[in-house]
Amino acid sequence: MSSWATCGRRTAALEASSVPRTREDESKDGEEHDGGGHRGPEDPAGTLPGFLPAEEKERLGRLCKLLIDQGRLEYLQRRGFRGALQRYADPGVSLENVLLTALPAQAPPADATA
């Protein structure tokens, strides 16, 4: 589900670029994000009956990515690291734009405990 955060925009970005797409690119789009990528005449707006609209899937995908990133951060904090999540690029540049940084937590100086 986390791939839903990027599935719709990746295709649009590739179409807007000057790089020609290959059949392999097109098949990867479908395989990676929506189980085959088939969109028939009943699906002109990116929604099949009984499924979520593309905008809702993208929103849920972003929430999934946030949940995964927060879990990673919590894991590191429980193991003695100071961590932070930082956005490093505009979403127009890259939809994968969250950086997780972590450093070992500082131990108090030995003479401070006496």
Assess if residue 48 is contained within a domain. no
Q: What is the pTM assigned to this prediction?
A: 0.58
Assess if residue 23 is contained within a domain. no
Tens digit of each residue's pLDDT (9 = 90 or more) over 41-72: 444 555 555 688 988 988 999 999 999 999 99
Find the domain containing 77 and state its range. 54-104
Count: domains in the chain = 1
Largest CA distance in the chain: 75
Is residue 53 within 8 Å of 70, Cβ to Cβ? no
First to last CA, the chain: 52
